[in-house]
Amino acid sequence: MSIQRPSIWALFLFDNIVAKCYNQCVAFQTNLLKEGYIPTVNKKMEWLKRYSETCGVSGFEGPMKTLLLERMGDKAKVSYDKLGSVIFTAEGPKNAPKLMLASHMDEIGFMVKHITKEGFLRFVCLGGWWEQVMLSQRVTVHGKKGDLVGVIGSKPPHILTPEERTKVTKKSDMYIDIGASDEAEARLLGVEEGCAVTPFAEFAQMGDGKTLLGKAWDNRIGCAVMTDVMDNLSKEKHPNTVYGVATVQEEVGLRGAQTSVNMLKPDVAFVIDTCVAGGTPGVAAEIAPAKIGKGIAITLYDAGMIPNTALRDFALQVASELKIPTQFSVSEGGSTDGGRIHLHDAGVLTLTFSIPTRYIHSHQSVIHMDDYLGAVNLITAMVSKLDSKKYAELLKD
């Protein structure tokens, strides 16, 4: 089969079209640069990568706390509760409403409970794990002499019995392999009972560049929203005192929420967390209505709290005014820090905002950049409007 060569005229036209498209792209990017959009997005993406990849399972949140302190710098007054939650305070007028932005900084993980004579590590789970997402996954064991690479061991399918093939391996039967020949070598490497173990996964931008894969989005994306809002408040006046709180040990019982709310005694609380995202095969819309990329999810109900309805309606009103996309979340099987916060003393007006997240409580999960940015914009706007008069109105409803 012969191939016909294009004419010189056709090549000339093609070159001109390519050149014109290139020039338009350059002009568009130049405008974005002038407006500060590209550097801002890139900077946010860098912080998200660090938030996701930083290790900090429940009870061992130190590295994440250090990162948050770096992120906030001198933008807010810093304090702590005695359990380890870090509190960033943006002071407002005297006698103004006190508003708590709560985002837990711990992630699910494991802790070493026993070292076998063969050098394998038995562990307890920190937070809610489903056995089917655990086997053969890489982990980081935080030994006394440094971090070690590990993998949760599993039997190859070649040696499984027909009965074993139909059953899920129990957590109690799992172990971590760190490449040690025996118990003595494992201990020589710095492993002891009580060492923390973190899931290992690297941050990555997926297909459209806005869909983000990483570990610990529950709830590092909530921390990102909280710190961005606090950053915004450091640049403008607001009619309230705001506490940005990175709570500890949420995944093992909402513990940091209890101690920090006891310390702060807020009037209003916005809990910023994640929710199960629908829109994937096998997940019905009535079970998980929120989808990634469709807006911040406002919780209607979870197993630990019915959010304040007046506050919910206020959020929807502000979102409508600013044309910020929102959707709803319902969680019959999980709860957030709001479960403890809203019951403090005589009660705290509390609402939960969630970033829809696919594959939650596993080594890797998926979120969307637009939902995160929308959450920052909505919460910042609500804070700016929540003055003493508005708080009084909310109490009456």
Residue 20 has a pLDDT of 56
Question: Could you read off the pLDDT tens digit of each residue along the chain, which spans 397 residues?
Answer: 334 445 545 444 445 554 555 455 445 444 544 444 455 678 999 999 999 999 999 999 999 999 999 999 999 999 999 999 999 999 999 999 999 999 999 999 999 999 999 999 999 999 999 999 999 999 999 999 999 999 999 888 899 999 988 999 999 999 999 999 999 999 999 999 999 999 999 999 999 999 999 999 999 999 999 999 999 999 999 999 999 999 999 999 999 999 999 999 999 999 999 999 999 999 999 999 999 999 999 999 999 999 999 999 999 999 999 999 999 999 999 999 999 999 999 999 999 999 999 999 999 999 999 999 999 999 999 999 999 999 999 999 7
- In CATH terms, the fold of domain 109-199 is Elongation Factor Tu (Ef-tu); domain 3 (2.40.30)
Contacts of 245 (CB under 8 A, 6+ apart): 85, 86, 87, 88, 100, 101, 102, 103, 226, 260, 264
Residue 12 has a pLDDT of 45
Residue numbers annotated as active site: 250
- Pair of tokens at residue 187: 């201990």
Choose among 377, 103, 22: nearest CA to 232.
Answer: 377
Residue 37 has a pLDDT of 46
Q: Does domain 42-107+215-396 have CATH number 3.40.630.10?
A: yes
Contacts of 276 (CB under 8 A, 6+ apart): 283, 287, 288, 290, 329, 331, 334, 356, 357, 360
Which segments of the chain belong to CATH 2.40.30.40? 109-199
Query: In Å, how far are 3, 7, 103, 107, 218 from 215, measured between CA atoms?
Result: 51, 54, 16, 9, 8
Residue 26 has a pLDDT of 44
Residue 397 has a pLDDT of 79
Q: What is the dihedral of CA 294, 298, 300, 301, to 10 degrees?
A: 100
Which segments of the chain belong to CATH 3.40.630.10? 42-107+215-396
**Cα 96 to Cα 242: distance, rounded to the nearest angstrom:** 10
